[in-house]
Every structure is written in structure tokens, then in C-alpha cells.
Structure 1
Amino acid sequence: MAIGFDKGFELHAQGMQLRSQRAEVIAGNIANADTPNYKAKGMDFNKAMQQANLQQQMGMSRTNSKHFDVRTELNNNVDFRVPDQPDTGDGNTVDVQVERNLYLENSLEYQAGLQFLNGKIKALQKVISGGR
């Protein structure tokens, strides 16, 4: 009996990829904190995961290398963030403290996801090796 690793890990792998993309968005905000008229961007992780789960259930996949991969090409729920602070005069909406906190939170969630995947892999290894 074959074990379908792709089905067992696909959603978790997509979650890790989305966390990585979210880290890039946040890092971009931090890097542009002093850029005049830069508008902070944000990514709704829960909405992106729901979209990824829906696409997985619908069985959407790339059948040709020239096709766009709809799992990564659809907006990825990255949009401009509504600023929490008033305009400082230069049109920039990045709040560095908020971005740092979001980056730290995302990093912790990414690490938790890695630990979860590591636990699943160790459990599978134990099953395969007969509990040794």
C-alpha cells in the first residue's frame, strides 16, 4: 500500500510557503519605512490559506509549464494595509514597530509549522521502521 505524502503534506507546505511570502511582504515594508509615499502592504494569512485549501480541494494543478500556477498567481491576498497612525507628512504608511511585531509573530508561527512538520515526519519514520 502506497502512502500519499503529497496529500498529507501539501496543505502544510502551502502554509509554509505563505508564511515565507508574508515575511517577504513585511520585510519589504520595513525596508521601505523611510521611502516617501510608500504604502505598507499586508497579507491576510487566514484568507490565503482558505484559498489554498479551496484550490487543493478543487484539484487545480498546472498541466503545462507555460500555464500560470493559480496557487501562486492569484493576488496571494497581499493588499495595502490600513494605517494605524496619522500621515507623518511624507505619505509613508509604514509603522516600523508594528511591522517588527508582525515579523516576529510570523517567524514564531513559521517555526511552529516547521516543528509540526518535523513531528509528522518523525512519526512516519517511526511507523516505517516498526517503532525502533
Structure 2
Amino acid sequence: MKLFSGSFSAIEKGLDYSALKQKVVANNIANADTPNYKSKEVSFKKMFDETLADQLAAYRTDSRHFSFQSSRNHPAVVTNRNLSFNQNGNSVDVDKEMSDLATNQIYYNALVDRMGSKFNSLTNVIKGGR
């Protein structure tokens, strides 16, 4: 949704990140007792690089120049393979996951609040300031 500025799309990308993080954290918590389950996390850097690549448009004068196409084949969810907190090989730290869940909820609420204020500003402009 590209109305008047890039702020709506930036907030939308932030909400996409928050939704993916919520899914991953919830999946980790649900599998806290599963033997040999390795916890996963969302790589902010990979998501940021994909978003940046989507927004960059480059004119290539030579085929040897770098391409700015999005690299969708690398998922933003990474698995922590070398960790093990339990005797059964599980690497989920429930305290850390609950902390991540709370942090993500605050982030999501801030983005939703910002989106609401953007829409309120647009409504105010449409009504002529009344």
C-alpha cells in the first residue's frame, strides 16, 4: 500500500517481521519438550537485506556488475544447531523465548499504534482539519 510516502510500506514490513517472529517463537515454545528439537530464530539482517534489495533498482551496464535482485532462496529463519540445554538434545530456553515473545509484543503494539496514527492523520486531512 503506497499512498503518500514510504512509511506505510515500512510499517507493513515491520509487521511482517513481527508476525514471522511470533510464529517462530510460538513454535519454539510448543516444542520445548520435544527431544532433539533445535530452536529457531528470525534473522533480522536477512529480512533487512531482502527488503533493501526489493527497494533498490540498479542500472547494470555490464553483466559482471552485481545484481540487486532479491535473494528469496535464503530463508530469514535460522536454526541454532550447536546449542543443547537439555539432556534430550533440545535447545529451547523457555525463559529466553518468553522474553522474546514479550519484546515482540511490545514491538508489534508500537507498529500498530504508529499505523493507527498515520490513518488518523490521513482522516484529519481528508476531513479538512475538522
Q: TM-score, normalised by structure 2?
A: 0.77
* 1:12 shift after superposition: 1.3
Residues 39 and 92 in structure 1, CA contact (< 8 A), matched pair in contact too: yes
Structure 1: runs of 5 or more not aligned? 60-69
Q: Deviations over 1:25-82 (max 9, x none)?
A: 00000000000000000012354134213313349xxxxxxxxxx97x5444210137
Q: d(CA) in 1 for partners of 2:5 and 2:73?
A: 22
Q: What SS does the aligned partner of 1:5 have?
A: coil
- Work out whether residues 85 and 93 of structure 2, in 8 Å CA contact, stay in contact via their aligned partners in 1: no
Once residues 45 and 127 of structure 1 are traced to their aligned partners in structure 2, the CA distance between those partners, rounded to angstroms, is 35
The correspondence of residues 1-132 of structure 1 with structure 2, limited to 5 A, is: 4-5=2-3, 8=6, 9-58=8-57, 73-81=72-80, 87-132=85-130
- Which of structure 1's runs of 4+ aligned residues deviate more than 4 A? none
**Distance (whole Å) between structure 1 residues aligned to residue 4 and residue 56 of structure 2:** 13
Cα RMSD for the two superposed structures: 2.6
Aligned partners of 2:24, 2:85: CA distance in 1, in Å? 21
Task: Name which one, 1 or 2, has greater alpha-carbon Rg.
Answer: 2
Judge conservation of contact 1:19–1:45 (CA < 8 Å) in 2: no
Correspondence for 2:61: none
Counterpart contact for 1:19–1:110, Cα < 8 Å: yes
| More moved, 42-51 vs 16-25 | 42-51
When residues 104 and 82 of structure 1 are mapped into structure 2, their CA distance, relative to the original with a 3 A threshold, is: farther
TM-score normalised over the length of structure 1: 0.76
1: distance between equivalents of 2:24 and 2:36? 17
Query: What is the percent sequence identity of the aligned residues?
Result: 32
Query: Which residue in 2 is equivalent to 1:66?
Result: none
Contact 2:47 2:76 in 1 (8 A): yes
Question: What is the identity, as a one-letter code, of the residue corresponding to 1:42?
Answer: E
Q: Mind listing any 5+ residue stretches in structure 2 that lack a counterpart? A: 59-68
Deviation at 1:7, TM superposition (A): 5.3
- Aligned partners of 1:109 and 1:7: how far apart in 2? 21
